[in-house]
Amino acid sequence: MNEKNGNKKLIALFNDQPVRRVWNAEEEKWYFSVVDVVRILAQNDRPRKYWDDLKRKLQQDGSEVSEKIGQLKMTAPDGKSRLTDAADVETLLRLIQSIPSPKAEPFKLWLAKVGYERMQETIDPELTISRARKNWQMRGHSSKWIEQRMLSIETRNKLTDYWSDHGISKRNEYAKLTNIIHYEWSGLSVKGHKDLKSLEVENLRDHMDEAELIFTALAELSTRKIAETKKAEGYNPNEVCAHEGGQISGNARQALEKKTGKAIVNPKNFLLGDK
């Protein structure tokens, strides 16, 4: 499996956990880092060893899955480009069956979305917009909420694009920076906010109300603007920007709460049509 010139490299996020991937323009498909997938599913401190052991077992069992694993150059945690085991969506879906994990089903859904839908969206970006709108409408979200959610996605993508282009590549850095921003604006960690809303594997932002989405977007917009102004490069400078950007939104939240006497961060979710 060769990496062709001009392939588009991106980092996809599953619950704020980065998964490296490479777009093969010749085959018109994504290839994902197997180790990154194993790390998420197995929740193992040594995902590379876990994968080596699993790969050996698959080979001994005569599984065709291991034969379909190739190698592509991806950015390693030390920032250098290194060959790593990679697989397309079809192969990963088969591989997931060999890894007992409570995250298997939500990860399959996520993988199908970023592996297939994004492929079509490069041809017709309207597909992702109409699909997302339909899903949110089925959950009972209002048109106003949907517009705000779309704006929040755009704001988030611009921030993660900046991070990706300015030295943020390690597996846990995206989650750390996101959590810093979230805590600074909301007073809760991402997990704490999900716990408040009684969420488990669900996407937190899909269960935020309009105000929560707006303050999240303000925090991430502020973080990006500060990072661009400071030309932040690497984790530590971007961490400072994350604190400062989140604080801007946090101060605005506290000012609004003081005026209205109502908390912005709240336990409402859309699991049972709680609007």
**What does the block give as tokens for 209?**
């109300």
- pLDDT tens digits for range 126-145: 555 676 777 788 878 889 99
So what's the pLDDT on residue 171? Answer: 57
So what's the pLDDT on residue 243? Answer: 98
In this structure, which long-range contacts are made by residues 187-196, counting pairs with CB atoms below 8 Å and at least 24 apart in sequence? Answer: 187/250, 187/265, 188/265, 190/16, 193/265, 196/265, 196/266, 196/267
Model-wide pTM > 0.75: no
Between β-strands 70-75 and 9-14, what pairing exists: parallel, antiparallel or unpaired?
A: unpaired
Please report which confidence band the pLDDT of residue 180 belongs to, taking 50, 70 and 90 as the band edges: very high
Nearest Cα residue to 211 out of 140, 137, 152, 138: 152
**Over the range 251-275, which residues count as b (16 or more CB within 10 Å of their CB) and which as e?**
ebbeeeeeeeeeebbeeebbeeeee
Cβ atoms of 74 and 82 closer than 8 Å: yes
Please report which confidence band the pLDDT of residue 27 belongs to, taking 50, 70 and 90 as the band edges: low
Nearest Cα residue to 173 out of 71, 76, 255, 107: 76
Q: Which helix (H) or strand (E) is 19 found in, with range?
A: strand 17-24
How far is Cα 29 from Cα 27, in angstroms, rounded to an integer? 6
- The mean pLDDT value for 178-187 works out to 97
